[in-house]
Structure 1
C-alpha cells in the first residue's frame, strides 16, 4: 500500500498539487498587487531587489517554482509507480517554498547569502527527490526534466548574485538562464502532454487522424531551441540571436501545427494547451522583434513569461486538479473565463509595449491577471482542499 493510501490527514496535504497549486495562484495575484503598489512608489516590502527585479524573480522563481513543485510531486509517482509524498514530508516542502517567499520579502533586512539559501531550498529538495526517484525506478527518460529544474535552481542563485552587486538583476544572466530553462521545460513537457492528451480525447471521438508522434522533426526543433536559447543567454540582443529566435518560433509553430489543435476547439481544457504552446512560439518572435529594436524588450519578454509560462501553468493546474480529484476532464464556463482573462492580460501587456503612453492598457493587463489567478484560487478552493468525491 502506498504512502498516499495510508495517509489519513487533511486532504490538503494528501497530494503535492493541492497546496502548491493553490498557494502559487494566490501568490501570483498577491505579488501583482504588491508590484502595482511598488510602481506607485510605495515601499510595501523591505526587499533588497529593485522593483522590476523583484517582480521578475517572484514570478519565475516564486510562482513558477511552486507550480513546478506541485507538478513534480504529482507527475513523478505516475511516471515511476512509486508512492507519492503526503503529510508531513509534503508540508515540509511547502514550508521551504514559504520560507523562500518570506526571506525574499524581507531581504533588505538580511544578509543576501541567507536569503539565497532560504530561496534555493525548495529547488534543491525537488532536485534531490526527482534524482532519487529516477535512480530507483531507472526512468532515464525523465533525466532532462531533472537537468532543467536543476538549471532553473542554479539560475536563481545567479540571480541573487547579480542582485548582490546592486545592479538590475532582471537584466542579468541569471534571469536569462532561468527563463531559458523554463522555455526549454515547456518545450519538452508540452511536447509530451499536448499531443498525448489530444490523441486520447480524439480517440474517444473516433477521429480518423491523430496528432503526429514524436519524430526526427521534433528532435530538430528541440536542438534548434537549445541553440537559440544558448545564444539568448550569452548575447540576447545580437543579430545572430534574433535570427535564431525567428527560426525557433517558426519551428515551434510547425511542431504545433502537427498536433490537431483546431480539432480541440470544443474542449477548452485542451485548446488552452495548444494556445499556450503557440505563445511559446510567438515568444521567440517577440524576443527577435526586441532584438531588432521593433518593440520594447520588457513587452516582448512578457509573451514568454506571462503568456507561455503563465497560461501553460494555469492550464496544467486546472487539468491536474480536476483529473487527480476524480472529476470530469472538462473546463466549464468559470475555468474557460480564467483562460480568456489570462490570454487577454498577455495581449494587453504586449500592446502596452507598443503604446507606452497608454497606461490604461497596463492597468487592464494587471486587472485581467488578478482575475485569472485569484479566480483560480476561488473556483478551485473546494477542489484542492476537500477530499476526493466518494463516487470518483
Structure 2
C-alpha cells in the first residue's frame, strides 16, 4: 500500500482534487457567501431583478429552496469535505481524489445549479445528483472504515445514509408542494447537524484545546456522551414524528442542554480566550446548548422556537463550519495552524450574526427585516473573508510537497 504521507511521491492530480476538503470547502464557503444574500433578495424584493424572477426557481418554491440549500448545499459540502479528509487520518487508507472526487463535487454542483435554472428542470435531476453525492461519500467512508475494522467510526456513513433518505423525502415534499412536511424535515436535519457537531466536536474540540494549552485531554465519559447523543437523535426523530410534546419534550430539551454544558465545561473553554482558532470552536459549540435551553424555557412560543433553530443554524452549524474549514485547510496544506491568515474578525462576525438573527426578532420584532439584512451581511462577509484568504492555498499543492 502506498504511504499516504510519503513526501517523495509526486502526485500528478490537479491540486484542487487531491483531497476532499479542497473542492468541497471552497464550494461550501462560496455557497454560504452567495445563497444567503440571494435568498433575502428573493424574499424581500421579489421580481425586482430579471435574474431573480419567479421563473428563476421554477419549479422550486423559494421557501423550500432556502433551508434545503443551507443544509444540503452549504453545510453538507463542509461535512462531506471534512469526513472524506478525516477518514484518511483515521484509517490510514488513501482518500478520495482525482476523477472520483471530481465526480462527487460535480454531483453536488449539478444539484445546486439545477435548482436555480430559469427553466422547469425535472426534480429527479437534482434529487439524483444530491443522492449520488451523499451515497458515494458514504460508500467511501464505509469502505475505508470496514477495511481496517474501525467500527467506532461506522456511525458516520450510517448518518449520511439517513441524510440521503431525508434529502430525497424533501424533494418528494417539494414535488407534492407540502411545505409542512418539508418544514419538519428541515427541523430534523438541523438536529442531525447538531448531533454531527456534538459527535465530532467531542473528539476534536477537547483535543485541539489540550494540545494548544498544554493540558491533558479530558477522557470521554460514556455515561455523559451517550445520553446526549440519544437525546439529540430523539429530537431529530421527534421533529418529524411529533411524538413528544409538553413536559416530556421540555424535559428532553433541558436534559440535552445541560449535558452539553457539562460536557463542554470539561474542555477548558476559559483557557482559549487568546486563541481565535479555539474560542471560535467553543463559542460555536455553545450555541447548541443555548438553543436547547431557550426552546425549553419558551416551549409553546413558535417565534422563539424558530429563532433558536436559527441560533443552531447560524451559530453552531455556520460557526463550527467556518472555524473547522479554516483550521483543517491550514493543517492539510502544510501550514502552521496558528500562524495563518487572521480569521478572528470572520469568527466574530458569524457569532454576532447568530445573536442578531436569533434574538433581534424576539426582542424587537418590528425591526425583523433589519436584523435579517444585518445578520446576512455579517455572514456573507465572514465567508467572503475565508474565500479571500483560502482560495489560493486550497487550489495549490501543499507547501511541503506531500500528497493531499
Verify same fold: TM over 0.5: yes
Given that 1:47 and 1:108 are in contact with CA atoms closer than 8 Å, whether structure 2 keeps it comes out as yes
Given that 2:4 and 2:92 are in contact with CA atoms closer than 8 Å, whether structure 1 keeps it comes out as no
Given that 1:232 and 1:241 are in contact with CA atoms closer than 8 Å, whether structure 2 keeps it comes out as no
Which of 102, 105, 130 is 2:113 aligned to?
Answer: 102
- CA shift at 1:25, angstroms? 0.4
Aligned to 2:67: 56
Select the structure with the greater relative contact order (CA < 8 A; seq sep ≥ 6): 2
| CA distance in structure 1 between the aligned counterparts of 2:127 and 2:203, rounded to whole angstroms | 33
Aligned to 2:91: 80
Given that 2:192 and 2:233 are in contact with CA atoms closer than 8 Å, whether structure 1 keeps it comes out as no
Aligned to 1:360: 370
- CA shift at 1:85, angstroms? 2.0
Which of 248, 252, 257 is 1:249 aligned to?
Answer: 257
* Residues 343-373 of structure 1: per-residue CA shift (max 9 Å, x gap): 1111110133212211322211010011011
* Residues 204-253 of structure 1: per-residue CA shift (max 9 Å, x gap): xxx4x643433422223223333343333322883232331122111111
Are 1:41 and 2:49 counterparts? no
- CA shift at 1:299, angstroms? 1.6
Aligned to 1:280: 288
- CA shift at 1:258, angstroms? 0.9
* Residues 35-57 of structure 1: per-residue CA shift (max 9 Å, x gap): 02111113442243332221100
Aligned to 1:31: 35
Q: Runs of 5+ in structure 2 lacking a partner? A: none
Q: How does 1:271-350 map to 2 (within 5 A)?
A: 271-289=279-297, 291-293=299-301, 295-330=303-338, 334-350=342-358
| CA distance in structure 2 between the aligned counterparts of 1:243 and 1:171, rounded to whole angstroms | 26
- CA shift at 1:267, angstroms? 1.2
**Mean alpha-carbon deviation: is it higher for 81-90 or for 163-172?**
163-172
* Residues 59-91 of structure 1: per-residue CA shift (max 9 Å, x gap): 000011211221121101101101122222211
Alignment length (residue pairs): 388
Residue aligned with 2:334, SS = coil
Aligned to 2:398: 388
Residue aligned with 2:115, SS = helix
Aligned to 2:241: 234
Q: Runs of 5+ in structure 1 lacking a partner? A: none
Given that 1:169 and 1:175 are in contact with CA atoms closer than 8 Å, whether structure 2 keeps it comes out as no
- CA shift at 1:257, angstroms? 0.8
Given that 1:159 and 1:173 are in contact with CA atoms closer than 8 Å, whether structure 2 keeps it comes out as no
Aligned to 2:223: 216
| CA distance in structure 1 between the aligned counterparts of 2:168 and 2:195, rounded to whole angstroms | 19
TM-score, normalization by structure 2: 0.89
| CA distance in structure 2 between the aligned counterparts of 1:134 and 1:169, rounded to whole angstroms | 37
Which of 2, 8, 20 is 2:24 aligned to?
Answer: 20
| CA distance in structure 2 between the aligned counterparts of 1:186 and 1:351, rounded to whole angstroms | 22
Given that 1:235 and 1:241 are in contact with CA atoms closer than 8 Å, whether structure 2 keeps it comes out as no
Which of 139, 149, 160 is 2:150 aligned to?
Answer: 139
Q: 1:115 to 1:213 in 2, by over 3 A?
A: closer
Given that 1:325 and 1:388 are in contact with CA atoms closer than 8 Å, whether structure 2 keeps it comes out as yes
Q: How does 1:158-173 map to 2 (within 5 A)?
A: 158-168=169-179, 171-173=182-184
| CA distance in structure 2 between the aligned counterparts of 1:26 and 1:295, rounded to whole angstroms | 30
Given that 1:107 and 1:115 are in contact with CA atoms closer than 8 Å, whether structure 2 keeps it comes out as no
- CA shift at 1:139, angstroms? 1.1
Given that 1:53 and 1:168 are in contact with CA atoms closer than 8 Å, whether structure 2 keeps it comes out as yes
Q: 1:286 to 1:112 in 2, by over 3 A?
A: farther
